[in-house]
Every structure is written in C-alpha cells, then in structure tokens.
C-alpha cells in the first residue's frame, strides 16, 4: 500500500494546492507498484488468473491505465518474472574460493523453490532467454561459480543455458504441484497408477521401472542432475587436459 507523502512545510513556490475534493488525488501508478501488485495477484490466482483487469482492480484503476507502463500483458509478465527472481539471494561474487560446487547446488535448488512458489510464472521464461536485471545477475553468479570451478568458456556458456532451462522447467512442475486441486503426493500416485496399469509385454522397461520412475522429489532430482552434469563436464575437461585453477 503506497502511503501519501506527508507535506513537510508549506512551500511558497509550490504549485500543489489545486483543491481536488472529489477524490483525494491518488498518486500516479508506477512500474514498480504495478509489478509488486502483479506478483500478489499471481500468488493468489496463478499465471492464468493474472489478467489485466484483475490487476487493475487490485490497484483500484482501469485496465487501460496499465498500458501507460507496459506495452502488453507479456511485457508485464516478463517484469513479474524478473521481480520474482529478485527474491533469490546470490552468492557474494567477491567471496574467496569457498566450495563452488556446493554453492552452485544451493543456488540452483533455491532458484527452483523461489520461482516455483509463484503460480507458474516460470512459464514466461521457457522458450525465451530472460534478460531482466535479476536474470542477468543470476547468470553472472552462475558463470562466476563455474569459472571458479575451472570450467571452460564454452561449456560454462552452454551450462548456463541448460541450468536456466532446468530451473524454470522444474519450477513450473513444482508450481503445478502446488495448485489447489492436488498436492505432489496425489499427482505422483496417479502417475504411478498409470505406469502400473500398463501391459508389461508392450512396455517392459516402464513396467519394470514403475516404482523407480516415481522415486525422488524435486530436490533429489535437482541434485542428481547437477552432480551428473558437472561430473560430465569435468570428465570432458580431464580428457582434453584442462584443469581447474
């Protein structure tokens, strides 16, 4: 809620007093204020429930007013995504050589949690490469940790792309688990039932792995992914003689 600025002292040259008794002169909207409200609506209603009209209502304005600050709904969603990413604490880039691998793991897990808790906003970052300030700061942090691990330039660049993709896809999946209709357990139970009902002759591997396929929560899978990925990258470097500094 924006609080009206208190008038400090009667300024002689002030052009202010226009006597607007009709309404107590709402302060103008701002991009920041709109984005903050957008995240609130997002959390309450999900990304599909975040409509220009509902957002305007939450801000006590008309839908058309939003177009002064955002070109369209997509533009607004992109801003909301970057706002959400801003909740993610990043490792200090100047910190001395602590455990880069552990830090990268924690950063990745936190990113999935943060993005995944905001009603499917992850969807706007899939299919495009986010370039908002917080997305860039995240990228910079990841590249910094990879560089400290001695990962080469091209692998690091591609790894950033892949990690971003993973974070958003995992976050989106997490979002769907958090929906009203069913928790993670029931989703997993349904999936398991689907696998268990398959004919073993036609789907021998799925049938054999029907338990294994649904084993492990998001954290466990994310850790496995990152470990495997980094092992693979370091193996390749070992082969080509590159060494961590």
Interaction site with DNA (CB under 7 A): 4-5, 20, 26, 28-29, 51-54, 60-65, 67-69, 72-74
Q: Where does this chain touch a second copy (CB under 8 A) — which range of 19-27, 61-69, 76-84, 224-232?
A: 224-232
Shortest CB 168 distance to a second copy, Å = 8
Identify the H or E element spanning 21. Answer: none
Label residue 184 exposed, middle or buried (CB < 10 Å: 0-12, 13-18, 19+). middle
CB of 228 to a second copy, least distance (A): 4
- Give the x-and-dash track for 116-155 against a second copy (CB under 8 A): ----x-xx--xxxx-x----x--xx--xx--x-----xxx
Among 57, 62, 61, 30, residue whose Cα is nearest residue 45: 57
Residue 53 interaction partner, one of a second copy, DNA, none, beta carbon < 5-8 Å per kind: DNA
Note whether 233 binds a second copy by CB under 8 A: yes
112 belongs to the binding site for a second copy (CB under 8 A): no
CA distance 37 to 29: 11
Count other Cβ atoms within 10 Å, centred on residue 138. 23
The reply to whether 95 sits near a second copy by the rule CB under 8 A is no
Residue matched to tokens 């942090």? 141
When binding is defined by CB under 8 A, the residue of 61, 110, 176, 182 that contacts a second copy is 176
What residue 140 binds from a second copy, DNA, none (CB within 5 to 8 A, per partner kind)?
a second copy
- Measured between alpha carbons, how far is 221 from 64 in angstroms, rounded to an integer? 44
Question: Residue 152 has which token pair?
Answer: 């080469």
Buried b (16+ CB within 10 A) or exposed e, 94-110: eeeeeebeebbbebbbe
State yes or no: residue 212 binds a second copy (CB under 8 A).
yes
The string of DSSP codes covering 66-98 is GGGT-SSHHHHHHHHHHHHHTTSPPPPTTS-S-
Binding residues (CB under 8 A) for a second copy: these are: 120, 122-123, 126-129, 131, 136, 139-140, 143-144, 147, 153-158, 160-162, 165-166, 168-170, 172-173, 175-176, 191, 194, 198, 202-206, 208-209, 212-213, 215-216, 221, 224-225, 227-233, 235-236
């Amino acid at each position: 809620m924006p609080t009206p600025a208190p008038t400090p002292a009667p300024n002689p040259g002030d052009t202010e007093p226009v006597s607007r008794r009709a309404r107590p002169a709402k302060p103008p909207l701002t991009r920041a204020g709109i984005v903050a409200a957008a995240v609130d609506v997002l959390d309450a209603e999900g990304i599909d429930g975040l409509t220009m009209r509902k957002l305007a209502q939450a801000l006590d304005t008309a839908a058309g007013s939003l177009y002064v600050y955002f070109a369209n709904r997509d533009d607004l969603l992109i801003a909301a995504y970057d706002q959400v990413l801003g909740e993610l604490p990043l490792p200090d880039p100047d910190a001395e050589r602590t455990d880069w691998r552990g830090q990268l793991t924690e950063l990745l897990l936190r990113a999935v949690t943060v993005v995944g808790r905001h009603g499917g906003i992850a969807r706007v970052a899939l299919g495009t490469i986010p370039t908002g300030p917080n997305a860039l700061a995240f990228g910079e942090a990841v590249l910094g940790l990879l560089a400290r691990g001695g990962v080469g330039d091209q692998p690091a660049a591609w790894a950033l792309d892949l990690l971003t993709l993973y974070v958003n896809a995992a976050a989106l999946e997490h979002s769907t688990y958090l929906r009203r209709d069913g928790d993670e357990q029931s989703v997993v139970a349904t999936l398991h039932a689907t696998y268990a009902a398959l004919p073993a002759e036609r789907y021998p591997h799925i049938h054999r792995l029907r338990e294994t396929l649904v084993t492990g929560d998001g954290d466990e899978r994310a850790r496995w992914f990152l470990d495997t990925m980094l092992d693979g990258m370091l193996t390749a470097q070992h082969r080509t003689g590159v060494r961590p500094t």
